[in-house]
Structure 1
Amino acid sequence: MQGTITAFFEDKGYGFILDENEEVRFFHLRKVINPSAIKIDAEVTFRPITREQGPAAIDVRVEFKGEHIFIADEKIKITAIKHYSVYTKKVPLARDIENNTIVSIGLLMNRIKPQTAKASKDTLEELTYLEIELFHAPSILFTSHEIDIDEALSHLAFLPITFTDKRQHNPAD
């Protein structure tokens, strides 16, 4: 049976589905096949059951429309994605402009003006990476300088693909 999630209470672990017959059905997160994809207005398939309290749904699965997902200007075929992960890494702070690149007029003007304090070559910044591993092609790597990582993750969360979050939640390094 098919339906649409009309309400979801993440803190309580349950929600409601409006099925194809306009009947409201209860579902619990424990009965969802891809729980990270649960969102209001998501289209789902499920197995209908009747509980003592009324209609319910089990084996709930969020359905995906389309064959591709777009992140930045990259068109990625959903069935080509094997796994995706997020991690952080400390990298040298990039301050220089490459010879043939003008990032912005403001940055160009800062290069022309005398700089009073220069960052040391040892200055590091923490950069977040989103790596999308593909089955038959090289992985695609995005950084937090290029895209909004959390927004990209919200789009990927609908996919039935494994995800690893390796971000450091306590940056003590």
Structure 2
Amino acid sequence: MQIPGYGQDIMVVDNNAPQPYAKADLRIKCNLFWAGGLDYCVQHVVHKGYTHLWFLNDDILFVSPAPFIHRVWNRMLHVEKHCGPVGVYSPSFTTNPYHPHMVQSVGQGFTRIGYVDGIAPLISLDCLQEIGGLDMGDNHVGYGVDVWLSTRSAEKGWVVIVDHELVARHRYHGTARTISGMMERARSS
């Protein structure tokens, strides 16, 4: 996908979402779930010169005004100037029943945190390499992999932040509800 001003720097991979994304550069043949999809994307881009991977759930909608990519990149550079290299960045969300620190705090700017929810993490590939990769084992569903990834990043000194100036709404388990047995697997994770 080409976005004006970014050339070929943007690649969109559809992890076989229930509603296909027509502009995707690549659609995976079967849903690999969260961690499996993230691992697939990392393996696909790691040797192509990309520096970051923004892994977005298919059931989010940004409620902040566009443009998103340019704004996120500039916000991340601002944080790096003041706090050091960002390992994992995330927008904030209108609600989050699992991780309240991910909910937008108006006027807060950004918050340095110990871990992020994996709804929309922007991951530094250098950080991912330094911490030894995803470390998902056979947990392709991914519950907990997001927390473990960002916790290890913070422990290695990488900045992990939630940005309260970029806000999205997430429909929790939107895709999971369409896959037979998925919610039961999630509850047992």
Q: TM-score, normalised by structure 2?
A: 0.21
Q: Larger strand proportion, structure 1 or 2?
A: 1
RCO comparison, higher one (Cα < 8 Å, 6+): 2
Q: Determine which structure has more spread, i.e. the larger CA radius of gyration.
A: 1
Q: Larger helix proportion, structure 1 or 2?
A: 2
